[in-house]
Structure 1
Amino acid sequence: MSARQDAARRWARAPWWAQSLLVWAVSRIWAWAVFSTVGRQQGPGPWGDGALGYLEFTGTWDSDWYERIAREGYPSSLPRDGSGQVQENAWAFYPVFPLVVRAVSAGTGAGWDVAASAVSLAASLGAVLLVHRLFLRFAPPATALWGLAFVAFGPVSPVLQVPYAESLHLALLAGALLLVVRGEHLAAAPVVLLMCLTRPAGVPFAAALGITWLVRSVRRHRAGELRRAVDAADGLLALAVFTCAAAMAWPAIAWAVTGEPRAYTDTETAWRGGGGLVPVVPWFDAAAGLFGPALGLAAPVLLVAGAAALLRARAVRERLDLLTRTWLACYAVYLLLFLHPQTSTFRLLLPLFPLALPLAAVSDSRAYRVACVVSGAVLQLVWVGWLWHWKQLPGGGDYPP
């Protein structure tokens, strides 16, 4: 047996958590190299007059908002301009991540950059472990590990180690899916609550739970397992109802503190120039701006058709369970209804991470899988170089990551 074959056999026999740890370590080192390389090319901008170090560079953009929340909390009244329009403010950012960082900073004496980066990095490790554990329920160990690598080296995965809430949310989302798949609905409740207070994904998660419960109940009824409607009430239904309440918690808190019922939604739409929350239409507006009026009408329709075909693909149906597929559909619909498409959309696709598993399962060719991982790693340079690197636009500002 050659040394290479022996090493491969030892790697295959390693505990799943050790494999996760190695994938996490290599992917985080690569992301550090990407940020460090791009940061050294930075010119004058809002965060400095020239090249930025790793912590300085990753502490830009929305990290400023989280730092302000950790230090000052949330405003008791919404800032408005002269015409009464709500301005950008902290209520758009959910509280769990900045509060965790504040606690770590208070306990260790570390500044924001160090404490926030450490929290994100630790959360990314938790996310990798939980994603791997979830994938192991749906696929053989080798395929599950490759699926994990696809997530860890994905084009936007560098965001998992910057002072944003993405890594913490990914860990909580993967943990919630894993617990529900196991049938541990009571244990999932606190995880779901924290998830709903970390990033705005509670509504699609509640919908996914409710639809899954309904489909399972219909199947049980047809199989003769349900004699009375009351028999359908179970832990999954209770968790779905609880998640609905948890999803509304942050808008309700914003209302209670500011006294304005639409405090959260008005704050969110402030980044769009105001005008209120209009479902779906922004996708057509953005497509028209990119492709012109004719193709702009067709592009969102084609996007929806492509997404539907993807979710019905054989690899997706064979590798993912009903709940996970329903989550993918509900989150995609949520983005279609409420997202204002822009450059930040790329990182908002991260909760669709379960698609990495069927993507890895499409072929067991090592060349194919390595090519996917390498492609993701290279695209990280494109994503960070394009969006994190500040470049003044002619009209002012820059595209946000």
Structure 2
Amino acid sequence: MSTATAKVARWPWWLQVALVFVAARLVSACIFMAAAVHQGVNPWFPPAPDYWNFITIWDGRWYQQAAEGGYPSELPVDQNGVVKENAWAFYALFPLLGRGLGAITGLGTLQALTAIAMVAGLGAALVIFKLFREVAGIRTAMWGVVFVSTFPVSPILQVPYAESLNLLLLSASLLLVVRRHYLAAIPVVLLMCLSRPTGVPFAAMLGLLLLWRLWQRFGSRASSPLRDGRTTSARGLVALGALVLAAGIGALAWPAIAWAVTGDPTAYTRTETAWRGHDLVPFKPWFDTGRMLFGPVLGVLAPFVFVGLFVLVMMSGPVRALGTELRLWCACYMGYLLVFLHPQTSTFRMLLPLFPLALGAAMLSRSKAYRGTVVVMFLLLQIVWVVWLWAWAQLPGGGDYPP
């Protein structure tokens, strides 16, 4: 270990994590700026915009609209009665915070949203390190944070999107659940449910966790201490049950709010599917996309192959070492994507909540060559993601692939 490295290793953990995250965001900023130089004609601003304009495009403008104009009381529809794209697809916590910060500081809405996203991203990195330390040593947990901070879609953590705020609340919720502070987790989980649509899989994860704890306490012959030496008390089961109930309510809160404001019980789902161009049918979009990419035969098999590969990952030694709660979360979130997601280019961004798998990747090998290669690969893929998906270039049929 070099003298400089040894000196950094003696710094407080939070300073080391902050250094990792800020360094990663500076690299991503350089990628954004390089791509902005080559940005041509687009719907938002003149060609070759500066960095601050370039990072505020796509959904950032929808969050700005939600913050400044609120949400429509009537769903906008076309001449055929089909709901058009509108702000109800974007959960309220992030734009509300942006409006509040703008009112306090005088910042423009997009600038306030960007500031919140950056601070929340740093907070998420700090909480993720503490979460990873629950199941791993300091060095491995730090490498897990490095992987999360440099992940190919990690530039999203410094733009006015709600991903960084959701990542902060999600990681904090998982940390409290892992530590079994179930009642303390309730307000955090409720806020998370109002930041992005992660409430349904989180409630499912908690429900399965409750069933598992009940079986361990009452149904298992070897019911005594768990692997970590702790048993689940009756009070703990009640607290976990309360958290399950709160998460279920939180998961339904935003669709219920959309219903209450618009009078349409399907306002949220109709808005979400406006970007798809067709109604929500569970699982079907995966097979449609499979056939489009791989043909009529392989396309039908592709989703099953994908699920099989994910199961193998979840059964691997490094991922099993993550513990019950983190593995359950990853399984439930992936199940949620399989049921409801329309796979397309935004899918890459939607994989970010699977961040616990970054720790599994760090556990796979302690080799510096392996870990360094992963980081280099992630940084190269950041270039691909920004140039291919963030930068706007009109397709032959109009529009562009969303990031």
**Per-residue deviation at 1:235?**
1.1
Letter in 2 for 1:213: L
Match for residue 75 of structure 1? 72
Match for residue 26 of structure 2? 29
Inter-partner Cα distance in structure 1 for 2:375 and 2:384: 15
Q: How does 1:243-322 map to 2 (within 5 A)?
A: 243-274=247-278, 276-318=279-321, 320-322=322-324
What's the secondary structure of 1:248's corresponding residue? Answer: helix
Length-normalised TM-score, structure 1: 0.96
**Per-residue deviation at 1:66?**
0.4
CA gap 1:52/1:321 in 2 versus in 1, 3 angstroms: same
Match for residue 379 of structure 1? 381
Match for residue 52 of structure 2? 55
Inter-partner Cα distance in structure 1 for 2:393 and 2:88: 27
What's the secondary structure of 1:14's corresponding residue? Answer: coil
Percent identity reads 53
Contact kept, 8 Å, 2:210 with 2:237, in 1: the verdict is no
Q: Pairwise CA RMSD of aligned residues?
A: 1.5
Contact kept, 8 Å, 2:59 with 2:161, in 1: the verdict is yes
Instruction: Give the number of equivalent residue pairs.
Output: 394
Match among 349, 355, 358 for residue 351 of structure 2: 349
**Per-residue deviation at 1:224?**
4.7
What's the secondary structure of 2:355's corresponding residue? Answer: helix
Match for residue 92 of structure 1? 89
Match for residue 119 of structure 1? 116
Inter-partner Cα distance in structure 1 for 2:91 and 2:262: 15
Letter in 1 for 2:161: Y
Q: How does 1:228-243 map to 2 (within 5 A)?
A: 233-243=237-247
Inter-partner Cα distance in structure 1 for 2:331 and 2:314: 7
Structure 2: tracts of 5 or more residues without a match: 226-232
Letter in 2 for 1:41: H
Inter-partner Cα distance in structure 2 for 1:224 and 1:326: 21
Per-residue CA deviation, residues 37-69 of structure 1 (Å, 9 max, x unaligned), is 101110011012310111111100011110001
Per-residue CA deviation, residues 144-195 of structure 1 (Å, 9 max, x unaligned), is 0001100000000000010000000000000000011111112111110110
Inter-partner Cα distance in structure 2 for 1:114 and 1:353: 27
Match among 349, 369, 372 for residue 370 of structure 1: 372
Contact kept, 8 Å, 1:86 with 1:270, in 2: the verdict is yes
Letter in 2 for 1:136: R
Letter in 2 for 1:180: V
Q: How does 1:331-342 map to 2 (within 5 A)?
A: 331-342=333-344
Contact kept, 8 Å, 2:183 with 2:240, in 1: the verdict is no
Contact kept, 8 Å, 2:94 with 2:162, in 1: the verdict is yes
CA gap 1:224/1:385 in 2 versus in 1, 3 angstroms: closer
Letter in 1 for 2:259: W
Inter-partner Cα distance in structure 2 for 1:232 and 1:72: 43
Match for residue 39 of structure 1? 36
Length-normalised TM-score, structure 2: 0.95
Contact kept, 8 Å, 1:56 with 1:113, in 2: the verdict is no
Inter-partner Cα distance in structure 1 for 2:251 and 2:191: 10
Inter-partner Cα distance in structure 1 for 2:99 and 2:3: 47
CA gap 1:74/1:14 in 2 versus in 1, 3 angstroms: same
Per-residue CA deviation, residues 194-224 of structure 1 (Å, 9 max, x unaligned), is 1000000101000101101111211122245
Matched, 1:16 2:13: yes
Structure 1: tracts of 5 or more residues without a match: none
Letter in 2 for 1:156: V
Contact kept, 8 Å, 1:217 with 1:232, in 2: the verdict is no
Inter-partner Cα distance in structure 2 for 1:225 and 1:17: 37
Inter-partner Cα distance in structure 1 for 2:324 and 2:253: 27
